[in-house]
């Protein structure tokens, strides 16, 4: 056992089933561990390291900023935060304003508060109910755990805030809307739920129905946002205009940041919501660098080119291993392979690590791929060669 593991066991709460590896350096989609073993990273820190490990442009921007000032609090104007908000709104194409926090859960908490205030002041009765989907995932706080439509997530931590209702499918949502419903909250591609995309027609019909009933549509883009599905937002892929959108993971390139953005630009007043750290000089500067880099990467066509190539290689893996996989799922660089059973999935992930490629689990039976968006053809080829070796050893 390494010294790091020993100290982890002694001092850190055991909330993670950690893989026995310690990474010490990285370069784009490459990682090196404490034993100097090299890996290809198809996880990007669960979709966080969107522009790769040790990105020079992002690192340079961060170093320049922290040499001047890192944090002052939101009591004062923060130029990088304003610039980040402008870039987010402009790249979304929606007429919205932003609030900055530190994580996806915080962004979703902000979305829930916006929806609840809207339901409080709009209409003759108090509207507080929020409908979410089964197999969803919206965060780890008490409120976002309750918003998550997975019963197993609700063990031990009650009593929870009231007002969350779970729909089995998209088509079930309309029947659950009542006079006390203020919002519906969905992921366009369920990440933890198994990399499951929603049907585009059903999503568009839902958006139209909710608008007719004056019920807000919240889209949780914590994992799908910031070009993960090919466009800046999955909402753009689905051609809808939500009332509230949440972002986090890939936005900071590894620096913690979360954003809730909304077309209800005057819904919150001073004191309604806040964050000590949210959108400070460090995180907002990182976000600005990531947004600039990925905007140009997408505009150049390289993002689409590498996304197509990655999915072609994934299709080859699927086609040649039909004894292991039942289907290929996902959108853009948010992909998955359904595995025929959970035991096989665990073996694939372990074997892949041994062969030098890091992959993820999603849901009960999905092998999940969230590579850095800036991954190169050479890194893709190397990663899939390692994955083929891992599958051959089963």
Q: From CA 110, how far away is CA 113, in angstroms rounded?
A: 5
The hierarchical CATH code for the domain 58-299 is: 3.40.640.10
Mean pLDDT to the nearest integer, 219-229: 98
Judged against a pLDDT cut of 60, whether residue 125 lies above it is answered with: yes
Mean pLDDT to the nearest integer, 214-219: 98
Which one has a higher pLDDT value, 3 or 338? 338
Q: Chain-wide mean pLDDT for the chain?
A: 97
pLDDT of residue 145: 97
Q: From CA 197, how far away is CA 208, in angstroms rounded?
A: 19
Span 312-362, pLDDT tens digits: 999 999 999 999 999 999 999 999 999 999 999 999 999 999 999 999 999
By residue count, the chain amounts to: 394
pLDDT of residue 2: 78
pLDDT band at 160 (very low <50, low <70, confident <90, very high): very high
Judged against a pLDDT cut of 70, whether residue 15 lies above it is answered with: yes
Q: Which of 58-72, 116-130, 214-228 has the lowest mean pLDDT?
A: 116-130
Judged against a pLDDT cut of 70, whether residue 1 lies above it is answered with: no
pLDDT of residue 141: 97
| Domain 3-54+300-392 and domain 58-299 have a common topology | no
pLDDT of residue 123: 79
Where does 240-300 show beta strands of DSSP type E?
244-247, 258-262
Sign of the alpha-carbon torsion through 55, 58, 64, 66: negative
Q: H/E element holding 58? A: helix 56-66
Q: From CA 390, how far away is CA 341, in angstroms rounded?
A: 17
Mean pLDDT to the nearest integer, 81-87: 98
Would you list the domain boundaries of the chain?
A: 3-54+300-392, 58-299
pLDDT of residue 167: 98
Mean pLDDT to the nearest integer, 296-306: 98
pLDDT band at 278 (very low <50, low <70, confident <90, very high): very high
Judged against a pLDDT cut of 90, whether residue 384 lies above it is answered with: yes
- Strands 30-33, 23-27: pairing kind: antiparallel
- Please name which of 344, 350, 355, 352 lies closest in space to residue 322, comparing C-alpha atoms: 344
Judged against a pLDDT cut of 90, whether residue 124 lies above it is answered with: no
Q: Which of 76-80, 152-156, 282-286, 305-309 has the lowest mean pLDDT?
A: 152-156
Q: H/E element holding 88? A: helix 79-92
The CA-atom distances, in angstroms, between 343 and each of 51, 124, 287, 388 are 32, 53, 39, 18
pLDDT of residue 126: 93
Mean pLDDT to the nearest integer, 376-382: 98
pLDDT of residue 280: 98
The correct answer on CATH 3.20.20.105 for the domain covering 3-54+300-392 is no
Judged against a pLDDT cut of 90, whether residue 188 lies above it is answered with: yes
Judged against a pLDDT cut of 80, whether residue 203 lies above it is answered with: yes
């Amino acid at each position: 056992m390494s010294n790091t593991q020993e100290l982890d066991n002694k001092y850190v709460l055991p909330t993670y089933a950690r893989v026995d590896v310690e990474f010490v350096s990285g370069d784009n989609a490459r990682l090196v561990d404490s034993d100097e073993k090299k890996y290809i990273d198809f996880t990007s820190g669960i979709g966080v390291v969107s522009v790769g490990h040790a990105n020079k442009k992002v690192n340079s921007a961060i170093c320049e900023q922290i040499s001047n000032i890192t944090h002052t609090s939101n009591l004062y104007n923060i130029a990088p935060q304003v610039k980040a908000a402008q870039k987010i709104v402009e790249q979304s194409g929606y007429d919205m304003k932003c609030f900055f926090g530190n994580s996806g859960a915080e962004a979703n908490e902000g979305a829930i508060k916006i929806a609840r205030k809207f339901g409080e002041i709009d209409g003759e009765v108090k509207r507080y109910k929020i409908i979410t989907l089964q197999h969803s995932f919206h965060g780890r706080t008490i409120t976002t755990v309750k918003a998550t439509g997975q019963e197993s997530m609700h063990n031990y931590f009650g009593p929870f805030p009231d007002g969350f209702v779970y729909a089995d499918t998209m088509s079930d949502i309309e029947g659950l809307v009542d006079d006390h419903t203020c919002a519906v909250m969905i992921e366009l591609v369920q990440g933890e739920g198994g990399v499951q995309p929603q049907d585009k027609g059903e999503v568009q019909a839902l958006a139209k129905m909710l608008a007719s009933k004056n019920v807000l549509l919240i889209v949780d883009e914590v994992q799908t946002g910031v070009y993960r599905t090919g466009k800046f937002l999955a909402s753009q892929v689905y051609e809808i205009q939500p009332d509230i959108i949440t972002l986090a993971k890939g936005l900071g390139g590894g620096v913690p940041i979360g954003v809730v953005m909304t077309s209800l630009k005057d819904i919150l007043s001073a004191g309604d919501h806040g964050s000590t750290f949210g959108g400070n000089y460090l995180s907002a500067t990182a976000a600005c660098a990531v947004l600039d880099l990925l905007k140009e990467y997408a505009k150049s066509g390289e993002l689409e080119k590498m996304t197509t190539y990655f999915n072609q290689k994934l299709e080859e893996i699927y086609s040649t291993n039909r004894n292991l996989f039942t289907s290929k799922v996902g959108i853009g660089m948010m992909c998955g392979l359904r595995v025929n059973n959970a035991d096989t999935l665990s073996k694939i992930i372990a074997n892949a690590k041994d062969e030098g490629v890091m992959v993820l689990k999603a849901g009960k039976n999905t092998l999940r791929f969230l590579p850095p968006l800036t991954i190169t053809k050479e890194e893709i080829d190397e990663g899939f060669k390692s994955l083929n070796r891992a599958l051959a050893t089963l």
